[in-house]
Structure 1
Amino acid sequence: MSNGAHHKIVVGVDGSESSRNALRWALQQAALTGAVVHAVCAWEFPAFYSWEGGPLPPDDFEESARRSLDDAVDEVERETGPPAPIERHLTHGHAAQALLDAAADADLLVVGSRGHGSFYGALLGSVSQRCAVHAQCPVVIVRR
């Protein structure tokens, strides 16, 4: 664990059941260690989006991600009660890079084994795989 007064666990949340399982696991670990959970949700414009006439206004992508983050955290808190403090973070960018950046000073990074991947994501490699290879802290991949 870090030398700071507050331990930090970063968890990737994309609204998928896998990410909800990762959040549940992270909260249990935080309750045991006294850590604060940082739930991170990243969003980007789809590869097919064009500024000249995409299917949704740009703000809708961010708002959809915010709802996904809030819904997942709210659901898990209702199930378990808040066993540890949770901070919510919404960021624009690729999910793996957003998690790696958020976990730069973390004690632990937690991700689900399968999220809302896409063909684009498959080309770049999975978020969990990229995090496991590049994170500067231990990584837990929560399987079903």
Structure 2
Amino acid sequence: MTERTWQRVDIDGGVAVGLENSASALRALTAAAEEAKCRNTVLHIVRAWSIRTAPKPRDCPPGAVPSTEQYEQSVLADTHQLVSETLGGDPGCPVEVHVVHSPSPQALLSASRGADMLVVGHRGRGGFSGLLLGAVAEQCVRHASCPVLVVRPSM
């Protein structure tokens, strides 16, 4: 599994998937891995983060404020753990992890410019459970530069 960390996601082909720590995103990861295997292509895992959404680094003492680099490393470690727990040791396709300090819609739309397909969960961790689509999924469906697969909970 290779990893790249940028403010934007520049990829050349493959299946891109947005990942966060939600049931919907984990279902999307599984679907994206299957799609990448079927297409015999790279799976690009895009994890957008901010200080507000990043897991606090484990080695950070109470009361201390971690650096941006420490947060980034914590997000990267958390992402690798989510991927490993969800896909196992061998996902069956090449995997690249993109950890991006950016709002989720911008990171995913950036990835869509070079992807063959973008996969997103139907909704993330937002507070409006009655919505059919979350805000990020809706932005991707409306503005992505490639086909978008929205994974519903019944998958």
Q: TM-score, normalised by structure 1?
A: 0.77
Matched-pair contact (CA < 8 Å) for 2:13–2:114: no
Selected match of 1:24 from 13, 24, 30: 30
Selected match of 1:78 from 65, 83, 88: 88
Shift of 1:38: 0.2
The structure whose residues are more often helix, as a share, is 1
Does the residue aligned with 1:106 lie in a helix, a strand or coil? coil
Q: Percent identity?
A: 38
Matched-pair contact (CA < 8 Å) for 1:7–1:34: no
Q: CA RMSD in A?
A: 2.6
- 2:114 maps to which residue? 105
| CA distance 1:102–1:33, shift in 2 (3 Å) | same
- 1:43 maps to which residue? 49
Equivalent position amino acid for 1:27 in 2: A
Q: Distance in 1 between matches of 2:21 and 2:106?
A: 18
1:104-143 equivalence runs, <5 A: 104-117=113-126, 126-143=135-152
Q: Which runs of 4+ in 1 moved over 6 A?
A: none
Does the residue aligned with 1:88 lie in a helix, a strand or coil? strand
Which runs of no fewer than 5 residues in structure 1 stay unpaired?
A: 1-5, 48-53
Shift of 1:66: 2.0
Q: Distance in 2 between matches of 1:55 and 1:95?
A: 26
Q: TM-score, normalised by structure 2?
A: 0.72
Which runs of no fewer than 5 residues in structure 2 stay unpaired?
A: 1-11, 54-62
Matched-pair contact (CA < 8 Å) for 1:42–1:65: no
Selected match of 2:96 from 79, 87, 110: 87
Shift of 1:56: 4.0
Does the residue aligned with 2:42 lie in a helix, a strand or coil? strand
